[in-house]
Amino acid sequence: MSSSNPYMPSMVKIIDVTEETKDTKTIKLTFVDDEVRNKFSFKPGQFNMLTVLGVGEAPLSISSDPGEKEYFSHTIRRVGNVTGAITKLCVGDTFGARGPYGNGWPMDKIQDKNILIIAGGIGLAPLRPVIYSIKNERENYGKMEILYGARTPGDCLYRREYDEWKKIPHTRLLLTVDSVPEGMEWEHDVGVVTLLFDKISLNPTETAVLICGPEIMMKFSVQKLLEMGFKDKDIYLSMERRMNCGISKCGLCQIGPKFVCQDGPVFSYFELCNLTEKIF
């Protein structure tokens, strides 16, 4: 990364591609330049600006274990020009990246608390580094419960890793899907993610909640959590907004006086509900 010019992407090389769902891939990357690679580290919940020259740039959460020093990953759903271009690339191909940006999840602040992770769809991507961070430093955190909802069983991300997650001490993984196509086996719940809330066993006053998903899902999750006695200061949301720079210059990502790219993307619900711009 050119330190003098924060807009300049550095070259990254694809070292592995995993098909997650029909429209989503997890791409393992490494910086081509040794210096950039050695300097790069990130916190769970941070994002990079990914560049395909000639197509554009887009903010994408980093989805890998922050303890991995050899590579980092992005889980990319094909929804726009940049994500469309990147998901067409193969192992060995290169494109651009700059970052990491943003505050990330408050991993220090939530130490010693129980951790309730609530994710919807692609929203699990920025939470995967949290799961691995907690696994790596298991003694620093309380019990962990992961609630994940997707559209169909085939839309669930990281299915190959669920057994490993469930083996993390004091960890529960609860899954639900909106619908199950005929003939498909599914031994978990069916319905929106909030239907899983009755199964939460964590004490609301000793638990930090980390949520990422579509705004509508976050809205109803927060509503129900507050009813259950979780505190607005303990509920953290990762917000999505349009971003062009990642460095609080382009002005696009503002919610009230907050720059989602630098002040966020993670905010407590307490912060968000007191802003001059209503979120949901």
Q: Which residues bind another protein (CB under 8 A)?
A: 2, 4-9, 11, 53-58, 79-80, 83, 94-96, 215, 240-242, 244-245, 247-252, 254-257, 259, 262, 276-278
Among residues 242, 271, 236, 237, the alpha carbon closest in space to that of 257 is found at 271
**Cβ-based nearer residue to another protein, 169 or 257:** 257
Q: Which two tokens stand for residue 174?
A: 């609860």
Give yes or no for a contact between 230 and 223, defined as CB atoms under 8 angstroms apart. Answer: no
* Cα angle: 43, vertex 114, 106; to 5 degrees: 25
**Cβ-based nearer residue to another protein, 3 or 182:** 3
In the complex, the smallest distance separating the C-beta of residue 242 from another protein, rounded to whole angstroms, is 5
In the complex, the smallest distance separating the C-beta of residue 72 from another protein, rounded to whole angstroms, is 19
**Cβ-based nearer residue to another protein, 98 or 128:** 98
**Cβ-based nearer residue to another protein, 9 or 196:** 9
CA distances from 211 to 9, 53, 148, 256, 275 (A): 29, 32, 10, 21, 19
In the complex, the smallest distance separating the C-beta of residue 29 from another protein, rounded to whole angstroms, is 14
In the complex, the smallest distance separating the C-beta of residue 123 from another protein, rounded to whole angstroms, is 13
**Cβ-based nearer residue to another protein, 190 or 250:** 250
Q: What gap in Å lies between CA 88 and CA 75, rounded to an integer?
A: 13
**Cβ-based nearer residue to another protein, 25 or 135:** 25
In the complex, the smallest distance separating the C-beta of residue 74 from another protein, rounded to whole angstroms, is 14
In the complex, the smallest distance separating the C-beta of residue 187 from another protein, rounded to whole angstroms, is 30
**Cβ-based nearer residue to another protein, 37 or 98:** 98
In the complex, the smallest distance separating the C-beta of residue 132 from another protein, rounded to whole angstroms, is 26
Going by the DSSP 8-state scheme, the letter that residue 164 receives in this structure is H
**Cβ-based nearer residue to another protein, 7 or 186:** 7
Amino acid at 31: F
Give yes or no for a contact between 235 and 211, defined as CB atoms under 8 angstroms apart. Answer: yes
Per DSSP, which regions of the chain are E strands? 10-21, 24-31, 47-52, 56-61, 72-77, 94-101, 114-120, 144-150, 171-177, 189-190, 207-212, 235-238, 254-255, 258-259, 266-268
In the complex, the smallest distance separating the C-beta of residue 91 from another protein, rounded to whole angstroms, is 17
Q: Which two tokens stand for residue 188?
A: 């978990």
Amino acid at 58: A
CA distances from 45 to 50, 142, 183, 221 (A): 16, 19, 36, 19
- Chain-centroid distance, C-alpha 119: 8
